[in-house]
Amino acid sequence: MGIEREIKLTLPPDRVDAADRFLTGIAGTPGRDVPLVNLYFDTASLALAGAKIALRLRKTPDGWLQTLKAAGTASGGLHSRHEWETAVAKEALEFDTLAAACDDEAALAALRTAAPELGERFRTVFVRRLWRLELDGAHIEAAIDRGEVTATVGGQTRREAISEVEIELLRGDERSLQALTGQLSAAVPGLAPENVNKAQRGYRLCAR
């Protein structure tokens, strides 16, 4: 189990290059592009969303990962929530592996109840440009995400663009996360805190 702590910021498309230059300057090296496809699963009645948990499969250049995220908090763009992630052999959920990793009984109970009716409800497809940074002893991963969220409802595909910055604390003092965010916001006008994560945006498309 881990507690994910990250700050999300909306990134106007015309500010992408400025954010890229700033993060490259801090890191001392260009960002690395990683294509990501995330499939989000729920029941037709969105039972997992009702339990405030999210279940996804992620395709990375290194293979497939499954992730269960429990209810969390978001304020001023800072997101904190418990998550459990395990590797899987292919594009298929492995419930036993996930159950062994997860120590949240409420989340597991909701997952077990929903399991027979789970299906893909929406997906996110984007390119993540990644930097690893060290600031005042804290280890931070910064990313620019650009792509889209898609949901097929009633035979029609609904879309919403993704253009955002994520700054995640890997290890160290959370104040370093806030300090880097402040520096980035000063260097790149137009950034704004984003309290709605990608999964919530996908669910919003499903319900629209």
Q: What is the 3-state secondary structure (H, E, C) of the chain?
A: CEEEEEEEEECCHHHHHHHHHHHHHHHCCCCEEEEEEEEEEECCCCHHHHCCCEEEEEEECCEEEEEEEEEEEEECCEEEEEEEEEEECCCCCCHHHHHHHCCCHHHHHHHHHHHHHCEEEEEEEEEEEEEEEEECCEEEEEEEEEEEEEEEECCEEEEEEEEEEEEEEEECCHHHHHHHHHHHHHHCCCCEECCCCHHHHHHHHHHC
Name the CATH code of domain 2-207 (choices 1.10.1060.10, 2.40.320.10, 3.30.70.270, 3.40.50.300). 2.40.320.10
pTM for the whole structure: 0.89
Over its length of 208 residues, how does the chain's per-residue pLDDT go in tens digits? 567 789 999 999 999 999 999 999 999 999 999 999 999 999 999 999 999 899 999 999 999 999 998 876 666 767 677 889 999 999 999 988 988 888 888 888 999 999 999 999 999 999 999 999 998 899 999 999 999 999 999 889 999 999 999 999 999 998 999 999 999 999 999 999 999 999 999 999 998 7
